[in-house]
Protein backbone atom coordinates (compact mmCIF):
# COMPACT_ATOMS: atom_id res chain seq x y z
CA UNK A 1 0.00 0.00 0.00
CA UNK A 2 1.20 3.51 -0.86
CA UNK A 3 -0.03 6.50 1.15
CA UNK A 4 -1.87 9.37 -0.54
CA UNK A 5 0.89 11.95 -0.85
CA UNK A 6 3.54 9.57 -2.27
CA UNK A 7 1.00 8.09 -4.69
CA UNK A 8 -0.01 11.55 -5.90
CA UNK A 9 3.63 12.30 -6.65
CA UNK A 10 4.09 8.90 -8.29
CA UNK A 11 0.95 9.37 -10.38
CA UNK A 12 2.05 12.78 -11.61
CA UNK A 13 5.44 11.31 -12.43
CA UNK A 14 3.78 8.44 -14.32
CA UNK A 15 1.85 10.91 -16.49
CA UNK A 16 4.92 13.03 -17.14
CA UNK A 17 7.07 10.03 -18.04
CA UNK A 18 4.28 8.57 -20.16
CA UNK A 19 3.88 11.70 -22.27
CA UNK A 20 5.86 11.43 -25.50
CA UNK A 21 7.66 14.37 -27.08
CA UNK A 22 4.72 14.54 -29.50
CA UNK A 23 2.41 15.41 -26.60
CA UNK A 24 0.53 12.11 -26.71
CA UNK A 25 0.17 9.97 -23.60
CA UNK A 26 1.30 6.36 -24.07
CA UNK A 27 -1.53 4.37 -22.51
CA UNK A 28 0.64 1.56 -21.09
CA UNK A 29 4.35 2.43 -21.34
CA UNK A 30 5.48 -1.00 -20.06
CA UNK A 31 2.76 -3.00 -21.82
CA UNK A 32 3.65 -3.48 -25.49
CA UNK A 33 0.04 -3.94 -26.60
CA UNK A 34 -0.88 -0.51 -25.15
CA UNK A 35 2.00 1.51 -26.55
CA UNK A 36 -0.40 3.76 -28.43
CA UNK A 37 -2.20 7.00 -27.77
CA UNK A 38 -5.94 6.68 -27.16
CA UNK A 39 -8.07 9.81 -27.24
CA UNK A 40 -10.11 8.81 -24.18
CA UNK A 41 -7.15 7.79 -22.01
CA UNK A 42 -5.14 10.81 -23.03
CA UNK A 43 -8.03 13.20 -22.49
CA UNK A 44 -8.41 12.11 -18.88
CA UNK A 45 -4.64 12.34 -18.39
CA UNK A 46 -4.73 15.91 -19.68
CA UNK A 47 -7.69 16.71 -17.43
CA UNK A 48 -5.85 15.35 -14.39
CA UNK A 49 -2.81 17.49 -15.18
CA UNK A 50 -4.98 20.58 -15.58
CA UNK A 51 -6.35 19.89 -12.10
CA UNK A 52 -2.78 19.68 -10.74
CA UNK A 53 -1.57 22.94 -12.29
CA UNK A 54 0.29 21.52 -15.28
CA UNK A 55 -1.62 23.22 -18.11
CA UNK A 56 1.34 23.18 -20.47
CA UNK A 57 1.35 19.38 -20.55
CA UNK A 58 -2.42 19.33 -21.00
CA UNK A 59 -2.09 21.78 -23.88
CA UNK A 60 0.61 19.64 -25.46
CA UNK A 61 -1.83 16.73 -25.59
CA UNK A 62 -4.57 18.86 -27.13
CA UNK A 63 -2.17 20.02 -29.83
CA UNK A 64 -1.13 16.40 -30.42
CA UNK A 65 -4.79 15.60 -31.18
CA UNK A 66 -5.16 18.65 -33.41
CA UNK A 67 -2.03 17.85 -35.41
CA UNK A 68 -3.11 14.21 -35.82
CA UNK A 69 -6.45 15.31 -37.28
CA UNK A 70 -5.15 18.22 -39.33
CA UNK A 71 -2.42 16.08 -40.86
CA UNK A 72 -5.03 15.25 -43.53
CA UNK A 73 -8.26 17.25 -43.10
CA UNK A 74 -9.66 15.58 -46.21
CA UNK A 75 -9.52 12.28 -44.32
CA UNK A 76 -11.87 13.78 -41.73
CA UNK A 77 -14.16 15.16 -44.42
CA UNK A 78 -14.37 11.71 -46.04
CA UNK A 79 -15.30 10.20 -42.69
CA UNK A 80 -18.04 12.81 -42.25
CA UNK A 81 -19.40 12.05 -45.71
CA UNK A 82 -19.31 8.31 -44.99
CA UNK A 83 -21.11 8.79 -41.66
CA UNK A 84 -23.93 10.68 -43.36
CA UNK A 85 -24.69 7.65 -45.55
CA UNK A 86 -24.52 4.97 -42.86
CA UNK A 87 -20.99 4.92 -41.50
CA UNK A 88 -18.89 2.14 -42.98
CA UNK A 89 -16.59 1.39 -39.99
CA UNK A 90 -13.39 1.17 -42.02
CA UNK A 91 -13.97 4.74 -43.23
CA UNK A 92 -14.53 6.23 -39.78
CA UNK A 93 -11.87 8.02 -37.77
CA UNK A 94 -9.67 6.00 -35.43
CA UNK A 95 -9.50 6.61 -31.71
CA UNK A 96 -6.04 5.05 -31.36
CA UNK A 97 -2.95 6.70 -32.82
CA UNK A 98 0.73 5.89 -33.02
CA UNK A 99 2.99 7.85 -30.68
CA UNK A 100 3.92 10.26 -33.49
CA UNK A 101 0.26 10.95 -34.25
CA UNK A 102 -0.01 8.89 -37.41
CA UNK A 103 -3.18 6.91 -37.90
CA UNK A 104 -3.52 3.29 -36.88
CA UNK A 105 -5.86 1.62 -39.39
CA UNK A 106 -9.29 0.70 -38.05
CA UNK A 107 -9.58 -2.20 -40.47
CA UNK A 108 -7.99 -4.55 -37.91
CA UNK A 109 -11.07 -6.52 -36.86
CA UNK A 110 -9.13 -8.17 -34.04
CA UNK A 111 -8.62 -4.75 -32.44
CA UNK A 112 -11.37 -2.40 -33.59
CA UNK A 113 -10.63 1.29 -33.81
CA UNK A 114 -14.03 2.84 -34.62
CA UNK A 115 -14.98 4.29 -31.25
CA UNK A 116 -16.69 7.64 -30.80
CA UNK A 117 -16.47 8.22 -27.04
CA UNK A 118 -12.86 9.41 -27.21
CA UNK A 119 -13.77 12.25 -29.56
CA UNK A 120 -16.57 13.38 -27.27
CA UNK A 121 -14.27 13.16 -24.25
CA UNK A 122 -11.61 15.19 -26.03
CA UNK A 123 -14.00 18.03 -26.82
CA UNK A 124 -15.27 18.08 -23.24
CA UNK A 125 -11.75 18.13 -21.79
CA UNK A 126 -10.63 20.77 -24.31
CA UNK A 127 -13.48 23.07 -23.26
CA UNK A 128 -12.61 22.49 -19.61
CA UNK A 129 -8.97 23.30 -20.40
CA UNK A 130 -10.02 26.60 -22.02
CA UNK A 131 -12.30 27.40 -19.08
CA UNK A 132 -9.29 26.97 -16.79
CA UNK A 133 -7.34 29.54 -18.78
CA UNK A 134 -5.92 27.49 -21.64
CA UNK A 135 -5.66 29.11 -25.06
CA UNK A 136 -7.99 28.06 -27.84
CA UNK A 137 -5.50 28.49 -30.66
CA UNK A 138 -6.46 28.53 -34.31
CA UNK A 139 -5.17 24.99 -34.67
CA UNK A 140 -7.30 23.75 -31.77
CA UNK A 141 -10.35 25.62 -33.02
CA UNK A 142 -10.02 24.10 -36.48
CA UNK A 143 -9.62 20.57 -35.08
CA UNK A 144 -12.52 21.03 -32.65
CA UNK A 145 -14.77 22.18 -35.48
CA UNK A 146 -13.89 19.10 -37.54
CA UNK A 147 -14.54 16.78 -34.59
CA UNK A 148 -17.87 18.43 -33.80
CA UNK A 149 -18.99 18.03 -37.41
CA UNK A 150 -17.86 14.41 -37.37
CA UNK A 151 -19.77 13.67 -34.16
CA UNK A 152 -22.92 15.31 -35.48
CA UNK A 153 -22.76 13.00 -38.46
CA UNK A 154 -21.60 9.81 -36.74
CA UNK A 155 -22.54 10.17 -33.07
CA UNK A 156 -25.70 8.08 -33.27
CA UNK A 157 -24.11 5.19 -35.18
CA UNK A 158 -23.32 1.80 -33.66
CA UNK A 159 -19.63 1.56 -32.80
CA UNK A 160 -17.29 -0.14 -30.36
CA UNK A 161 -17.51 1.00 -26.75
CA UNK A 162 -14.76 2.29 -24.49
CA UNK A 163 -13.75 -1.34 -23.81
CA UNK A 164 -13.49 -1.92 -27.58
CA UNK A 165 -16.32 -4.44 -27.63
CA UNK A 166 -19.79 -4.89 -29.17
CA UNK A 167 -19.27 -2.86 -32.32
CA UNK A 168 -22.83 -3.40 -33.55
CA UNK A 169 -24.42 -1.63 -30.55
CA UNK A 170 -25.37 1.91 -29.58
CA UNK A 171 -23.63 2.30 -26.24
CA UNK A 172 -25.15 4.51 -23.59
CA UNK A 173 -21.85 5.80 -22.22
CA UNK A 174 -20.69 6.55 -25.77
CA UNK A 175 -23.85 8.53 -26.54
CA UNK A 176 -23.31 10.52 -23.33
CA UNK A 177 -19.70 11.28 -24.24
CA UNK A 178 -20.75 12.44 -27.71
CA UNK A 179 -23.53 14.66 -26.36
CA UNK A 180 -21.17 16.17 -23.80
CA UNK A 181 -18.57 16.77 -26.49
CA UNK A 182 -21.07 18.48 -28.76
CA UNK A 183 -22.28 20.64 -25.88
CA UNK A 184 -18.67 21.60 -25.17
CA UNK A 185 -18.08 22.38 -28.86
CA UNK A 186 -21.11 24.65 -28.91
CA UNK A 187 -19.69 26.48 -25.89
CA UNK A 188 -16.33 26.88 -27.62
CA UNK A 189 -17.43 27.51 -31.19
CA UNK A 190 -21.14 28.26 -31.23
CA UNK A 191 -23.29 26.44 -33.74
CA UNK A 192 -26.38 24.27 -33.78
CA UNK A 193 -28.16 22.91 -30.70
CA UNK A 194 -27.03 19.57 -29.33
CA UNK A 195 -29.00 16.60 -30.74
CA UNK A 196 -31.58 14.97 -28.50
CA UNK A 197 -30.33 11.42 -28.95
CA UNK A 198 -31.82 9.32 -26.13
CA UNK A 199 -29.98 7.30 -23.53
CA UNK A 200 -30.96 3.65 -23.14
CA UNK A 201 -33.01 3.15 -19.96
CA UNK A 202 -34.62 -0.07 -18.73
CA UNK A 203 -36.72 -0.23 -15.54
CA UNK A 204 -35.47 3.15 -14.40
CA UNK A 205 -31.76 2.37 -14.89
CA UNK A 206 -29.29 3.21 -17.60
CA UNK A 207 -28.10 0.08 -19.38
CA UNK A 208 -24.93 -0.87 -21.19
CA UNK A 209 -26.36 -0.56 -24.68
CA UNK A 210 -29.65 -0.52 -26.50
CA UNK A 211 -31.22 -3.97 -26.17
CA UNK A 212 -29.30 -4.90 -23.01
CA UNK A 213 -30.46 -5.03 -19.40
CA UNK A 214 -26.93 -4.94 -17.92
CA UNK A 215 -25.19 -2.06 -16.25
CA UNK A 216 -21.60 -1.18 -16.99
CA UNK A 217 -19.07 0.68 -14.86
CA UNK A 218 -18.52 3.19 -17.64
CA UNK A 219 -22.06 4.50 -17.09
CA UNK A 220 -20.67 6.54 -14.19
CA UNK A 221 -19.36 8.93 -16.85
CA UNK A 222 -22.91 9.91 -17.84
CA UNK A 223 -22.98 12.04 -14.69
CA UNK A 224 -19.28 12.74 -14.14
CA UNK A 225 -17.71 14.40 -15.87
CA UNK A 226 -20.14 14.64 -18.77
CA UNK A 227 -23.19 15.91 -16.91
CA UNK A 228 -25.74 14.46 -19.32
CA UNK A 229 -27.62 13.39 -16.19
CA UNK A 230 -26.98 15.03 -12.83
CA UNK A 231 -25.84 13.06 -9.82
CA UNK A 232 -29.24 13.84 -8.29
CA UNK A 233 -31.18 12.42 -11.24
CA UNK A 234 -33.35 9.45 -10.22
CA UNK A 235 -32.24 7.34 -13.19
CA UNK A 236 -28.58 8.07 -12.45
CA UNK A 237 -29.00 7.20 -8.78
CA UNK A 238 -30.73 3.93 -9.66
CA UNK A 239 -27.94 3.10 -12.08
CA UNK A 240 -25.24 3.68 -9.48
CA UNK A 241 -27.08 1.56 -6.93
CA UNK A 242 -27.03 -1.25 -9.49
CA UNK A 243 -23.32 -0.72 -10.14
CA UNK A 244 -22.61 -0.90 -6.41
CA UNK A 245 -24.76 -4.00 -5.98
CA UNK A 246 -23.66 -5.90 -9.09
CA UNK A 247 -20.17 -4.74 -10.01
CA UNK A 248 -18.34 -4.01 -6.74
CA UNK A 249 -16.11 -6.95 -5.94
CA UNK A 250 -15.55 -8.45 -2.49
CA UNK A 251 -12.63 -6.13 -1.78
CA UNK A 252 -14.41 -2.94 -2.84
CA UNK A 253 -13.10 -2.47 -6.38
CA UNK A 254 -15.40 -1.94 -9.37
CA UNK A 255 -15.64 -4.38 -12.27
CA UNK A 256 -16.50 -3.43 -15.83
CA UNK A 257 -19.61 -5.58 -16.28
CA UNK A 258 -20.94 -9.00 -15.35
CA UNK A 259 -19.48 -11.74 -17.51
CA UNK A 260 -16.26 -9.88 -18.32
CA UNK A 261 -13.45 -12.32 -19.11
CA UNK A 262 -10.55 -9.95 -19.90
CA UNK A 263 -7.80 -11.02 -17.46
CA UNK A 264 -10.61 -12.77 -15.60
CA UNK A 265 -12.86 -9.74 -15.29
CA UNK A 266 -11.29 -8.28 -12.16
CA UNK A 267 -11.61 -4.99 -10.29
CA UNK A 268 -10.52 -1.91 -12.24
CA UNK A 269 -8.62 0.94 -10.61
CA UNK A 270 -10.03 3.66 -12.83
CA UNK A 271 -13.64 2.57 -12.29
CA UNK A 272 -13.11 2.46 -8.53
CA UNK A 273 -11.85 6.04 -8.70
CA UNK A 274 -14.87 6.95 -10.82
CA UNK A 275 -17.25 5.56 -8.21
CA UNK A 276 -15.37 7.51 -5.55
CA UNK A 277 -15.77 10.66 -7.64
CA UNK A 278 -19.51 10.07 -7.84
CA UNK A 279 -19.78 9.41 -4.12
CA UNK A 280 -17.91 12.62 -3.34
CA UNK A 281 -20.20 14.61 -5.63
CA UNK A 282 -23.18 13.20 -3.71
CA UNK A 283 -21.66 14.20 -0.38
CA UNK A 284 -20.53 10.71 0.62
CA UNK A 285 -16.96 11.66 1.41
CA UNK A 286 -16.41 8.58 3.55
CA UNK A 287 -17.36 6.37 0.61
CA UNK A 288 -15.10 8.37 -1.68
CA UNK A 289 -12.17 8.03 0.72
CA UNK A 290 -12.85 4.31 0.94
CA UNK A 291 -12.48 4.07 -2.84
CA UNK A 292 -9.26 6.07 -2.68
CA UNK A 293 -7.86 3.81 0.04
CA UNK A 294 -8.67 0.75 -2.08
CA UNK A 295 -6.69 2.27 -4.95
CA UNK A 296 -3.75 3.09 -2.72
CA UNK A 297 -3.69 -0.51 -1.52
CA UNK A 298 -3.64 -1.63 -5.16
CA UNK A 299 -0.47 0.31 -5.96
CA UNK A 300 2.86 -1.47 -6.32
CA UNK A 301 5.59 -0.62 -3.76
CA UNK A 302 7.07 1.89 -6.23
CA UNK A 303 3.73 3.61 -6.76
CA UNK A 304 2.51 2.13 -10.04
CA UNK A 305 -1.20 1.56 -10.57
CA UNK A 306 -2.35 -1.39 -12.68
CA UNK A 307 -5.29 -1.54 -15.03
CA UNK A 308 -7.08 -4.13 -12.88
CA UNK A 309 -6.50 -6.58 -10.06
CA UNK A 310 -6.75 -10.32 -10.62
CA UNK A 311 -7.02 -11.46 -7.00
CA UNK A 312 -10.80 -11.96 -7.10
CA UNK A 313 -11.73 -12.32 -10.78
CA UNK A 314 -15.15 -13.21 -12.11
CA UNK A 315 -13.61 -15.86 -14.36
CA UNK A 316 -10.49 -17.27 -12.64
CA UNK A 317 -9.74 -19.62 -15.53
CA UNK A 318 -9.37 -16.63 -17.87
CA UNK A 319 -6.53 -14.90 -16.06
CA UNK A 320 -3.66 -17.09 -17.23
CA UNK A 321 -4.70 -17.23 -20.91
CA UNK A 322 -4.43 -13.44 -21.11
CA UNK A 323 -1.10 -13.46 -19.30
CA UNK A 324 0.13 -16.06 -21.79
CA UNK A 325 -1.11 -13.91 -24.67
CA UNK A 326 -0.07 -10.38 -23.63
CA UNK A 327 1.88 -10.70 -20.39
CA UNK A 328 0.94 -9.50 -16.88
CA UNK A 329 -1.77 -6.86 -16.43
CA UNK A 330 -0.73 -3.44 -17.75
CA UNK A 331 1.19 -1.66 -14.99
CA UNK A 332 1.25 1.29 -14.94
CA UNK A 333 -1.90 2.22 -16.82
CA UNK A 334 -1.86 5.99 -17.23
CA UNK A 335 -5.65 6.20 -17.19
CA UNK A 336 -5.62 4.57 -13.72
CA UNK A 337 -3.20 7.22 -12.46
CA UNK A 338 -5.25 9.99 -14.04
CA UNK A 339 -8.48 8.88 -12.38
CA UNK A 340 -6.75 8.55 -9.02
CA UNK A 341 -5.49 12.12 -9.35
CA UNK A 342 -8.95 13.37 -10.30
CA UNK A 343 -10.49 11.67 -7.26
CA UNK A 344 -7.77 13.07 -5.03
CA UNK A 345 -8.40 16.59 -6.33
CA UNK A 346 -12.16 16.21 -5.83
CA UNK A 347 -11.59 15.12 -2.22
CA UNK A 348 -9.13 17.88 -1.38
CA UNK A 349 -11.56 20.49 -2.70
CA UNK A 350 -14.40 18.95 -0.69
CA UNK A 351 -12.42 18.96 2.56
pLDDT at 109: 45
pLDDT at 190: 94
Q: Looking at 50, 260, 296, 307, which residue is catalytic?
A: 307
> Would you say residue 348 has pLDDT above 70?
yes
> Would you say residue 3 has pLDDT above 70?
no
Q: Looking at 117, 161, 260, 267, which residue is catalytic?
A: 161
pLDDT at 110: 58
pLDDT tens per residue, range 271-320: 999 999 999 999 999 999 999 999 999 999 999 999 999 999 999 999 99
pLDDT tens per residue, range 181-194: 999 999 999 988 99
- Mean of pLDDT values over 119-139: 98
**Among this protein's residues, is 164 annotated catalytic?**
yes
pLDDT tens per residue, range 86-122: 888 889 999 999 999 998 754 444 567 899 999 999 9
pLDDT at 2: 64
At residue 101, the 3 state secondary structure works out as coil
CA 174 – CA 179 distance, rounded (Å): 9
CA 62 – CA 125 distance, rounded (Å): 9
**Among this protein's residues, is 81 annotated catalytic?**
no
**Among this protein's residues, is 161 annotated catalytic?**
yes
| Exposure class string for 240-275: b at 16+ Cβ within 10 A, else e | bebbeeebbbeebbbbbbeebebbbbbbbbbbbbbb
More reliable by pLDDT, 95 or 3: 95
Cβ(279)–Cβ(272) under 8 Å?
no
pLDDT tens per residue, range 10-30: 999 999 999 999 999 999 999
Q: Looking at 13, 103, 145, 164, which residue is catalytic?
A: 164
pLDDT at 273: 98
What is the helix (H) or strand (E) element at residue 240, kind and residue range?
Answer: helix 234-246
Amino acid sequence: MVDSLPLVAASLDALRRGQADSGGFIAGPNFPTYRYVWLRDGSFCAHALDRFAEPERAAAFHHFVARALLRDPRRVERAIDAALVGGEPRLMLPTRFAIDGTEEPNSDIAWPNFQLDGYGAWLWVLADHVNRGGELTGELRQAADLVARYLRAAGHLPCFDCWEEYGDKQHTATIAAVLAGLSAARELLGGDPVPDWPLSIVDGSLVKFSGSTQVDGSLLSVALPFGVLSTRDRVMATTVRRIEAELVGPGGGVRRYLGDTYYGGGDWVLLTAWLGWYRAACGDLAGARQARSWIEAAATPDGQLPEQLTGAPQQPDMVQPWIDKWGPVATPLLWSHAMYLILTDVLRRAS
